[in-house]
């Protein structure tokens, strides 16, 4: 249901109410029983979290962030050189 915003012309009281689109607008101020005017509001804007519209953007991960610095471990790489010997058959 949309939210409508009203303002009283007598006491300047502003209020919002949830109404169906098919409901008649409110005409009486709940504070002073004066005449109200329907205001034009910006409406609701969707809030985007993350990089897109995927459900994974809203899920919280199970990983906890720690304040400890990351340490990288490296393994020494062994390099071996293979030597190739060409053998040519030379027929004389």
pLDDT digits (tens, 9 = 90+) for 74-91: 666 666 665 555 556 655
Q: How many domains does the chain have?
A: 1
Q: Give me Rg for the CA atoms of the chain.
A: 36
**Which residue has 């008649």 as its token pair?**
24
E strand or H helix that includes residue 7: strand 3-8
Range of the domain at 11: 1-43
User: CA 40, CA 3: separation in Å to the nearest integer?
Assistant: 11
Residue 2 lies in a domain: yes
What's 29's domain CATH number?
Answer: 2.20.28
Q: Could you tell me the pLDDT band of residue 9, with boundaries at 50, 70 and 90?
A: very high
pLDDT at 8: 95
Residue 13 lies in a domain: yes
Residue 48 lies in a domain: no
Residue 80 lies in a domain: no
Both structure tokens of 10: 């007598």
DSSP class of residue 14 equals E
Both structure tokens of 46: 């969707």
Predicted TM-score (pTM) above 0.85:
no
């Amino acid at each position: 249901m949309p939210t409508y915003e009203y303002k009283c012309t007598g006491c300047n009281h502003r209020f919002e109410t949830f109404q169906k689109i098919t409901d008649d607008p409110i005409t009486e101020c709940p504070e002073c029983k004066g005449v109200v005017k329907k205001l034009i509001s910006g409406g609701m804007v969707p809030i985007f979290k993350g990089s897109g519209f995927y459900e994974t953007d809203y899920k919280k991960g199970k990983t906890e962030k720690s304040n400890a610095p990351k340490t990288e471990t490296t393994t020494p790489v062994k390099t071996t050189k293979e030597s190739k010997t060409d053998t040519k058959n030379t027929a004389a």
